Structure 1
Amino acid sequence: MPLPLQLCLPVILLFLSNIFMTYAWYGHLKTPEKALPLVILASWGIAFIEYCFVVPANRMGYGLYSAVELKTIQEVLTLIVFSGFAVFYLGEKITYHHIIGFAFIALGAYFIFNAPKS
């Protein structure tokens, strides 16, 4: 597999896993009338699909990225996916306070990816 694809595939899989996990964790918020045990079981089933993406992503990505870099990618993608989900699915607004907070997290990611390699 060419190196650019090797580097992108774990990120793509992590992105897909975040879509499922965000929905598993927060999708039920639009249906508060649903029984909690049913919501938990449904969320668990959706989370299983998430694991089918995240485990291979980490397996493939480890070595190309450090474990800390993989986790950082995952967290940045979580914020991106969740922000879209909150706006388009839950109808929430992103404020400048959120954007500033996300910018600080992005700054942290910058430092992680630009740390000296040992």
Structure 2
Amino acid sequence: MLNQPVFWQAAGLLVLSNLFMTFAWYGHLKHLADRPWWIAALLSWGIALFEYLLQVPANRIGHTALSLAQLKILQEVISLSVFIPFALIYMQQPLQLDYLWAALCLLGAVYFIFRA
């Protein structure tokens, strides 16, 4: 990964960090619904540690070539790209047309923030 361009290093780390964070934020809804909230919070906090161990280097690497706004939009696109399969496959939620509209809005954001 270290031989990859900065954009792809940052994007790869952000994808991995988003996988952890999505499970930290929403995984407990499937597996710990019958447990006290504080157990879910502690477990989520433990998972989120791994997210931060990937997210912080991703942003530091990315900021060497991308603006803060570009990093944020990249993060949001990746977040939605990770969340939709998570919701559909792991959480078994129905596919909604709103996912498409949200994706189109993010594509617009990508266009405006990355245009020359």
Unaligned runs of 5+ in 2: none
Q: CA deviation at 1:6?
A: 2.5
What corresponds to 2:10 in structure 1? 10
CA RMSD of aligned residues (A): 1.3
Q: CA deviation at 1:97?
A: 2.7
Within a 5 Å distance, the mapping from 1:1-118 to structure 2 comes to 4-31=4-31, 32-114=33-115, 116=116
SS at match of 2:104: helix
Aligned-partner Cα distance in 2 for 1:106–1:36: 36
Q: CA deviation at 1:107?
A: 1.0
Q: CA deviation at 1:108?
A: 1.4
Aligned-partner Cα distance in 2 for 1:69–1:7: 10
Q: CA deviation at 1:5?
A: 2.8
User: 1:75-117 CA distances to partner (integer Å, 9 max, x unpaired)?
Assistant: 0000010001000111012222320222112111211111x5x
Letter in 1 for 2:21: M
Letter in 1 for 2:29: L
Under a length normalisation based on structure 1, what TM-score does the superposition of the two structures give?
A: 0.90
Aligned-partner Cα distance in 2 for 1:23–1:45: 11
Q: Runs of 4 or more off by more than 6 Å in structure 1? A: none
Aligned-partner Cα distance in 1 for 2:94–2:106: 19
Aligned-partner Cα distance in 2 for 1:21–1:97: 22
Alpha carbons 2:6, 2:64 under 8 Å: kept: no
Aligned-partner Cα distance in 1 for 2:107–2:15: 16
Identity %: 39
SS at match of 2:93: coil
